[in-house]
Structure 1
């Protein structure tokens, strides 16, 4: 199984392709340069296969690469960051 995470800026979400099929997405809103992750969804076909974690990891890696910051309103994204503290430096507190 191969994963590819790409940003779909027009839809304000990161999408994960699983063997060329849309496997899920992590939606966000923008607050200046900060991405506020609001919802993550993984297709039922791919539940329990690490797709959600790969999606969030890929999204956060892309945010880091461009020097961005995140707010983890989405419980899945927040839980991922708690389990992977190497991403904690990307998080900003909500105003």
Structure 2
């Protein structure tokens, strides 16, 4: 699975490519130190293959490397964060 980040001044998305399909996790930048993960979309063809989890982990790793926090507005990301207490250091709210 290949994951890339598309960054714009006001936000962006992480895109996972696998088997000719793409899943995404979008975010908006609230401040230089806070991003809001607002949507995760994975096509049916990729369901059950860990794409959403990989996107969420990528966002967490990126936040740690960049020194910012994530506000989990997206229900999927929020559920993943509840399952991963080790992500607490990058969560806001």
State whether TM-score is above 0.5.
yes
Partner residue of 2:24?
Answer: 25
Is 1:14–1:26's contact at 8 Å kept on the other side of the alignment?
A: yes
Pair 22,8 (structure 1): closer, same or farther in 2 beyond 3 Å = farther
Runs of 4+ residues deviating >4 angstroms:
none
CA RMSD of aligned residues (A): 1.5
Partner residue of 1:12?
Answer: 12
Is 2:21–2:45's contact at 8 Å kept on the other side of the alignment?
A: no
Name stretches of at least 5 consecutive residues in structure 1 with no aligned partner: none
Count of aligned pairs between the two proteins: 90
Q: Find the residue that maps to 1:27 and give its secondary structure.
A: strand
Name stretches of at least 5 consecutive residues in structure 2 with no aligned partner: none
List per-residue Cα deviations over 1:16-68 (Å, max 9, x = no partner): 1225x442111111110211011100011101111111111112111211111
Matches within 5 A, 1:40-51: 40-51=40-51
In 1, Cα distance between the equivalents of 2:29 and 2:58?
18
